[in-house]
Structure 1
């Protein structure tokens, strides 16, 4: 589009406080798909006071928080000062995008050509919907009605020449201009400059990805307070002083928005599902029946030039039970690998093996009535092509391990994974081959009381009971003040030549059922073997040995 071309007439839909809405919708979905365990916080309600934080400042807040005085841009302590009951959540752009995709898909069912500008804001050319629905206002009303059905009654619509003006029209809603009780603002053709003129220059900060606040501060120092005053400046002088970005914002302030509405290309539907009537009872029956479905998934991926690296498998039984899990793959899935995951998930759900990811709320109690396979993460197939001169050792190893795993089951082949914890046995977790799971106890968290380096070269998976006695033959103990009753003299009958400790390890003192208090010691015996010992509840255990 040339600079002299008129701006595109656009309808912009704006969803106020979208980060908060995305949080509520994601929590509601999680509560339905996998109910929270006892003691977990319940999902927030729409009338809760919530603030989304980034860099210690509020980037979005709920209506209830605004009524208490919370505002965008506030520091965390100021927001908590005006609303002590404020719930603080970290900003998550990926969560916002995930929650926005179903909304875009629903709008595309009504009219094609939706362009997502950012999570919570999208646009569509006004010409097509206006001709179909009999006018721009009727088209916007139809879109808002669909959003009402999706549980988004606060959405607003702005119609104007150009995306920037339409966005400001949606944000600065004046319902009286189009009738009482409506959520649509229409800026007549050719009236963009007059509509934008009284708006503050801070409005243009949202039109650029970076540097907008600095430009606004400069304009304010120069005495330019409104978009009308900014648009009245000489374009050549603005270009010389502010560069290309300043010239573009100067054009936006004058209502000359040259951007087109660029519709997104909806991703292909890659998920497949199969229903069974009557329901199937045996895992092998289900695995055999889903082979065609797995082949269909791979065919759809091949046609799109993609491979699946992460798959979501959902199982439903005839009694309302549900089992859902996301499976990961170190390279990419093929059809047999998907079938294996369906069988393993079904076996784990029916047998209640919590280690494979089947929580009590996700176990099946009846026959399987439906299986759904959905690629959760995909990659370009060009990145996974086999080597030109044959497969490398890593690929051969993966195929061999996968074949053994297919014969022995999901947990038949495991790999060690470093985790976090205060005890040496907690720092290793065995993960089934091919699962890129993150440990529940992250090693990056601080673990007060954990053993510093150097660590024992030999760690006993199950601590070994030992005896530690004093010179008079009594068992060495530690009192409530952490004092040793007597110096250790014998370790399992061997003379102790040196020792150090105790170092207390105290966990979950607020929880009577899981509270733990123990003491670590380091001992060297007459054979010059160094031991890491633990005294807990009056009993001695060997946790590891230094060699």
Structure 2
């Protein structure tokens, strides 16, 4: 079944559409709301780019070109700058038509039914692929969508996976395997709130008191729409016009007290920075404007407590939040494991009331330590000395094996653990070798005292003797 006809309106001059734009672009919500008066069923692809089904508007306005004329007339009436309309089979082809080069004289490019594949065939491959695939395919001699579309889909699936299949179907002028229908959106309400101060406020508590009603209004507006805010952006503008912006995330959703606490913490760090700056670097110190805007929202029904819940008890959350208010945002938190190979790299501290952020990919991580993990992890690893029966440092040979049997282990700053009773085979950790990073090896040892240690050896290129091998204690098992 061929894709349905789609109309795409592209506001070329919409602020924020180019990387060289400075400052925040205006909200697209008011423009989208006015567009729904022309065509009720719209989908915002990104600010300045909207898509709609062609069938209904074409019947209402008398044809596809008449729909394009109505959209371009709207752009002129609203002073939205240069605008273009593309109409084709499927969302992808219509979006490319709305951005085609060279630009049609009347700003409208209509690809006739069944002609999407021919229209797309001469476009560069990067139009349909992600950055990684867009760099790989030209190396294989595939520069255009037409060349990519000529490949068998089975071969594309086997080599490039689902992402490659989607790009391949787009290159053929088809929708994805599950279809890509236009999902009509309601005109979004702008929930951002702001407050200006004259004269500027320099005290954290005064600012929190002045903004208490602001955060109540912010959360209340979301609640009226049956929404909760899971991530918000606080922007503080100081007395010389500098903007200090930060995004805050919440593991559940923000209450007015939570939002006000984030505002207070952000202002505290800002005031502390002013106090540490030289007096001649600033013409005063104060906050003249506050703006709070949602970054991510969710339906309130998705956050209603269930019969069995895995979230923190309300009393626990209340008391820890109070302690955090006294100690600051970094005073209370939780610890979790992130991706990585070394144990101290995997430790992640998350402030209480904030959503954990992954700094590393979840894996797989070749060379990572399998369970069980040491109960005590040293950050950074402690310097150690693993010696053989002659008192020489145990080396690792060219075959990644121990050059001598371990006999004793000494760890810097700790009492002598004792004599080695058993040990594992060392396993290598080789990463970023192209940057000259030294090879590292891990091994586990058991002592006659019953203690077990996780050791880390660092072996630089050219090291062949034990005296040149550096050992560290990474962790200890109970």
TM-score (ref. length: structure 1): 0.55
Q: CA deviation at 1:272?
A: 0.4
Which residue of the partner structure matches residue 332 of structure 2?
413
Which residue of the partner structure matches residue 155 of structure 1?
85
Which residue of the partner structure matches residue 340 of structure 1?
261
User: 2:79 aligned with 1:116, yes or no?
Assistant: no
> C-alpha separation between the residues in 1 aligned to 2:207 and 2:239?
14
Q: Give the direction of change, closer, same or farther, for the CA distance of 1:104–1:182 in structure 2 (3 Å limit).
A: farther
> C-alpha separation between the residues in 1 aligned to 2:298 and 2:235?
22
User: 2:446 aligned with 1:542, yes or no?
Assistant: no
Q: CA deviation at 1:441?
A: 1.1
Q: Give the direction of change, closer, same or farther, for the CA distance of 1:409–1:485 in structure 2 (3 Å limit).
A: same
Q: CA deviation at 1:317?
A: 2.5
Q: Please give the secondary structure, in 2, of the residue aligned with 1:536.
A: strand
Which residue of the partner structure matches residue 488 of structure 1?
406
User: 2:450 aligned with 1:528, yes or no?
Assistant: yes
Which residue of the partner structure matches residue 107 of structure 2?
183
Which residue of the partner structure matches residue 448 of structure 1?
366
Q: Describe the superposition over 1:85-114 as per-residue Cα deviations: whole angstroms up to 9, x where unpaired.
A: xxxxxxxxxxxxxx9x96564254477254
> C-alpha separation between the residues in 1 aligned to 2:253 and 2:183?
32
- Structure 1 unpaired stretches of 5+: 1-10, 35-98, 159-163, 174-179, 187-195, 204-260, 353-364
Q: Give the direction of change, closer, same or farther, for the CA distance of 1:495–1:459 in structure 2 (3 Å limit).
A: same
Contact 1:157 1:183 in 2 (8 A): no
Contact 1:33 1:324 in 2 (8 A): no
Q: Give the direction of change, closer, same or farther, for the CA distance of 1:523–1:382 in structure 2 (3 Å limit).
A: closer
Q: Give the direction of change, closer, same or farther, for the CA distance of 1:299–1:127 in structure 2 (3 Å limit).
A: farther
TM-score (ref. length: structure 2): 0.62
Match of 1:395 among 314, 333, 358: 314
Number of matched pairs: 364
> C-alpha separation between the residues in 1 aligned to 2:365 and 2:219?
44
Question: How big is the alpha-carbon RMSD for the aligned residues of Structure 1 and Structure 2?
Answer: 4.6
Q: Please give the secondary structure, in 1, of the residue aligned with 2:37.
A: coil
Note the 1:305-344 alignment, pairs <5 A. 305-344=226-265
Match of 1:300 among 212, 218, 221: 221
Q: CA deviation at 1:122?
A: 2.9
Which residue of the partner structure matches residue 517 of structure 1?
439
Q: CA deviation at 1:471?
A: 1.4
> C-alpha separation between the residues in 1 aligned to 2:376 and 2:305?
40
Q: CA deviation at 1:371?
A: 1.5
Q: Please give the secondary structure, in 2, of the residue aligned with 1:312.
A: strand
Q: CA deviation at 1:393?
A: 7.2
Q: CA deviation at 1:440?
A: 0.7
Q: CA deviation at 1:273?
A: 0.7
Q: Give the direction of change, closer, same or farther, for the CA distance of 1:485–1:296 in structure 2 (3 Å limit).
A: same
Q: Describe the superposition over 1:6-33 as per-residue Cα deviations: whole angstroms up to 9, x where unpaired.
A: xxxxx985247x9xx9xx967839x967
Q: Describe the superposition over 1:49-106 as per-residue Cα deviations: whole angstroms up to 9, x where unpaired.
A: xxxxxxxxxxxxxxxxxxxxxxxxxxxxxxxxxxxxxxxxxxxxxxxxxx9x965642
User: 2:14 aligned with 1:14, yes or no?
Assistant: no
Q: Give the direction of change, closer, same or farther, for the CA distance of 1:349–1:448 in structure 2 (3 Å limit).
A: farther
Which residue of the partner structure matches residue 74 of structure 2?
143
Which residue of the partner structure matches residue 229 of structure 1?
none
Match of 1:267 among 178, 188, 198: 188
User: 2:349 aligned with 1:430, yes or no?
Assistant: yes
Contact 1:291 1:339 in 2 (8 A): yes
Q: Please give the secondary structure, in 2, of the residue aligned with 1:473.
A: coil
Q: Please give the secondary structure, in 2, of the residue aligned with 1:292.
A: helix
Which residue of the partner structure matches residue 500 of structure 1?
424
Q: Give the direction of change, closer, same or farther, for the CA distance of 1:397–1:185 in structure 2 (3 Å limit).
A: same
Which residue of the partner structure matches residue 371 of structure 1?
290
Q: Describe the superposition over 1:117-168 as per-residue Cα deviations: whole angstroms up to 9, x where unpaired.
A: 57341379689999xxxx9886443234379846x6443479xxxxx99x99
Which residue of the partner structure matches residue 130 of structure 2?
none
- Structure 2 unpaired stretches of 5+: 99-103, 118-181, 274-283, 411-415, 460-468
> C-alpha separation between the residues in 2 aligned to 1:545 and 1:142?
72
Contact 2:333 2:350 in 1 (8 A): yes
Q: Give the direction of change, closer, same or farther, for the CA distance of 1:394–1:350 in structure 2 (3 Å limit).
A: same
Q: Describe the superposition over 1:504-533 as per-residue Cα deviations: whole angstroms up to 9, x where unpaired.
A: 223333346xx3432222212112322111
Q: CA deviation at 1:308?
A: 2.3
Match of 1:106 among 31, 34, 44: 31
